[in-house]
Structure 1
């Protein structure tokens, strides 16, 4: 199910978990920590119902977490997102995070280059042994 497939009455937490690639426990944790943009609504039976907007926001959370942004920084970003006129502060958080991601990327590229050198070394050794 994709975000655009969300029924008008909203998705269950299980469907939202599947659509976002997160676990149900993670969704509950994010909600408890105030990381969701809006708390999901509830059905008449009390079951969480995630809207298209809720699930789209989960995509943002996934991207930020998978690029290593700490929960405390995401929480600050979400708090600012709810404040009109806070674009400059949100931009500052994202720019700082980008710098961190670029530093990590450079380190991974350095390690990848070392791995490639080792592969070349062993390819040469294997070819000489044949």
Structure 2
């Protein structure tokens, strides 16, 4: 971290802010452009962005939420609710519960895909070893799993 022009304030460059938050430099610029973070102060001599501790706290949180899969509109909603403090606690809980439900469904879809790949690997291993009995046991399991991939099977 570098010392900024405001005395003891520690400032980060956009590269340092990107590395710390896990958000790309273009994303940091975009978040500023759309108002997720306030205007980022600029170094008077170079015009380069300088991120202060408060902005970094916000970016760290947004980086975590984004990596958990929250969409930009959810990030905007989160920050709006955050500004209302505990008066918005129930709405914050709802936001995170809804997203947790979406993430849980996504994890289930990933588990199905993983199971499918494992079964296909076993099928080809059985074929490689000429094990027709194993192949015959695996084919119905693979077909049943394929049925679970269909949208109508997921409800």
* TM-score (normalised: structure 1): 0.70
For 2:114 and 2:61, how far apart are their aligned partners in 1? Answer: 32
For 1:114 and 1:15, how far apart are their aligned partners in 2? Answer: 37
Any conservation in 1 of the 2:81–2:92 contact (CA below 8 Å)? no
- 2:42: which partner in 1? 42
Structure number with bigger Rg = 2
1:7 maps onto 2:2 in alignment: yes
Any conservation in 2 of the 1:77–1:90 contact (CA below 8 Å)? no
- 1:123: which partner in 2? 122
What are the residue-to-residue correspondences of 1:76-115 with 2, within 5 Å? 76-83=77-84, 86-113=85-112, 115=114
Specify every segment of 5 or more residues in structure 1 that has no aligned partner in the other structure, as ranges: 1-5
Deviating 4+ runs (over 3 angstroms):
none
- 2:8: which partner in 1? none
Any conservation in 2 of the 1:68–1:101 contact (CA below 8 Å)? no
Specify every segment of 5 or more residues in structure 2 that has no aligned partner in the other structure, as ranges: 5-10, 130-155
1:75 maps onto 2:76 in alignment: yes
Q: Which has the higher contact order (CA 8 A, sep 6+)?
A: 1
Any conservation in 1 of the 2:21–2:59 contact (CA below 8 Å)? yes
Number of paired residues?
122
- Please state how far the C-alpha of 1:118 moved relative to its aligned partner: 4.9
CA distances 1:79-125 after superposition (whole Å, capped 9, x unpaired): 33334xx3242552343233333333234224414532552464255
For 2:79 and 2:99, how far apart are their aligned partners in 1? Answer: 19
